[in-house]
Amino acid sequence: MDIEYKNPVHINIVSTYPKRGCGIGDFNWDFLKSTQNITGDAGLIKSFGHYPIIRPGMELEYNKFISDSLEREIIQDYPASWNEALRDIREKSHAMDAKGLDNIVMLQHEFGLYADHWTRDNAVNFVKGLYDENIANVIVLHTLKKNPSDHEKQVISGMMKYTDKGIVLSRSGPRTLRKVYGAERGKAIYIPHGVPEDNTNETKRELKEKRGLLYKSNGKERKVLTSAGYISRGKGLHYMIRALPDVINTKEGKGIVYLVAGDTHPEVFKDQGDKYWQCQVNLARNLKIPGAIISEEENESGQKLEKIVDLDGNKIDNLEGANIVFWKKRFTTPELMGIMKMSDVGMVGNLDPEQISSGPGAYWIGNQRTTIATESTFFKDLEDEGIGLLVGFHQPKDFADRMNHYLRLSVKDRKDLRFLTIEKANNMQWEKVARNYVDLMRALIQHRKEDW
């Protein structure tokens, strides 16, 4: 049934934002950028109100698109700050209702952003407050476990009781919400994780050539298997590094490059510095894996210059002979997309079996790349569709086996493995995904009015 929307909607967004160094902040920004292409289209969106979630004492700079409609920063561990944001939304919502205008709240959720040290239920209280004031809202659930703790179960169940719709990023999510958390039938919906548009003009070969990843002898491409994004112990890089000796000592694997592209997660760096990253460099050195480190340093003029050294810190000119490369940088999304386009395989060693959402995983699919990944919920759902290769948790030999399997495949078999990924990627472009979100919110508002 086609629905005629009478009013463009005002969307209040409660989330982390870019510059905080958070995957949800990146997700939220990708959503916002994508909606710019449909703002005003068919009267879908009127405006936004932004409620960034910050840590105590944190100062963020916002770009003009956000700052022009910044309503209030929410200090994540302070219940009073959440109550003030709720009051602001309530007053604005009622004022808009009085004028016959439509508005809704979109809340991005994962544990750690909402729990405070006293009641541990800021998220539930906030969503209940919206429900009590009859304010439409949707929750994007970035964390959804099949085996939750009692507290986690209470929080998700509480939010689902008071929200209009819970949005999950994996196909099995709606069933989990019903079976594990007791959500009402029809309250959960699956919308895939969005993928940014590829704006790189170079081909995979051109990108490899630019980075010196062609064989010097014949100009052919070296196989590049990459882990990309923020680095922390939970990413399981050490298991993939331990797998490398069993790969590079084979005929097919001797020329491959395992690329670790990214910098320490800001939240981890705050407490531990680069300890985990440095441990991985030491591990590769101890395993006698030929390697290199790419980093940036500023000269006297403040200009950033790239530096390449071997794992002992000696300056080298290129990546020839390196089987592992640590590219230490906090990449922008376009840069990350370029790295993924340059790669042959995405390597994901996340150690959380309950992981329902994976930004890097979605980006790999969007770049039409085969993945070798641990069997978290997100990747198991993809594997059910024939996409990617799974490995067990904490199993270096599994990684070595899957890497060797991929390298030994014929060109035709690699194309067949990639084909389903291409099919999936077509439905994950952010502009399509953002339109799904906005259409859902418009339909919820229309349903509330019972004016079909």
Residue 117 pLDDT level (bands cut at 50, 70, 90): low
Please name the residue that has the structure tokens 């940014």: 196
Q: What is the pLDDT of residue 39?
A: 57
Reduce the DSSP state of residue 174 to 3 states and report it: helix
Q: Which residues pair with 107 in a beta bridge?
A: 14, 139
Please report, rounded to a whole number, the percentage of residues in the chain having pLDDT higher than 90: 60
- In angstroms, rounded to a whole number, what is the distance separating the alpha carbons of residues 25 and 27? 5
Whether the per-residue pLDDT at 115 is higher than 90: the answer is no
CA distances, 46 to each of 67, 89, 102, 288, 417 (Å): 16, 16, 9, 58, 43
Q: Where are the domains of the chain?
A: 9-194+429-449, 204-425
Whether the per-residue pLDDT at 190 is higher than 90: the answer is yes
Residue 104: in which H helix or E strand, if any?
A: strand 102-109
Please check whether the two domains, 9-194+429-449 and 204-425, share a CATH topology.
Answer: yes
The per-residue pLDDT for range 272-325, each reduced to its tens digit, is 989 999 999 999 999 999 999 999 887 777 788 899 999 999 999 999 999 999
153 and 161 Cβ atoms separated by less than 8 Å: no
**165-168 β-sheet, strand order:** 74-75, 45-54, 9-15, 102-109, 137-141, 165-168, 188-190
The per-residue pLDDT for range 235-247, each reduced to its tens digit, is 999 999 999 999 9
377 and 361 Cβ atoms separated by less than 8 Å: no
Instruction: Among 113-117, 221-225, 448-452, name the most confident range.
Output: 221-225
Whole-prediction pTM value?
0.83
The per-residue pLDDT for range 38-87, each reduced to its tens digit, is 655 555 778 899 999 998 888 888 989 899 999 999 998 888 999 999 99
Q: What is the pLDDT of residue 90?
A: 96
Please report, rounded to a whole number, the percentage of residues in the chain having pLDDT higher than 70: 95
- In angstroms, rounded to a whole number, what is the distance separating the alpha carbons of residues 138 and 130? 10
Report the CATH architecture of 9-194+429-449: 3-Layer(aba) Sandwich (3.40)
- Read off φ and ψ for residue 317, nearest 5 degrees: -95, -25
Whether the per-residue pLDDT at 27 is higher than 50: the answer is yes
Give 333: exposed, middle or buried? Use CB within 10 Å, 0-12, 13-18, 19+: middle
Q: What is the pLDDT of residue 452?
A: 42
31 and 194 Cβ atoms separated by less than 8 Å: yes
Q: What is the pLDDT of residue 26?
A: 87
Report the CATH architecture of 204-425: 3-Layer(aba) Sandwich (3.40)
Least confident of 176-180, 258-262, 378-382: 378-382
If one compares 424 and 96, the residue with the highest pLDDT of the two is 96
Q: Which DSSP category does 220 fall into? A: P
Whether the per-residue pLDDT at 233 is higher than 70: the answer is yes
Rounded to the nearest integer, the mean pLDDT of the chain is: 90
Q: Return the structure tokens found at 279.
A: 């441990």
Q: What is the pLDDT of residue 61?
A: 87
If you average pLDDT over residues 206-217, what whole number do you get?
A: 93
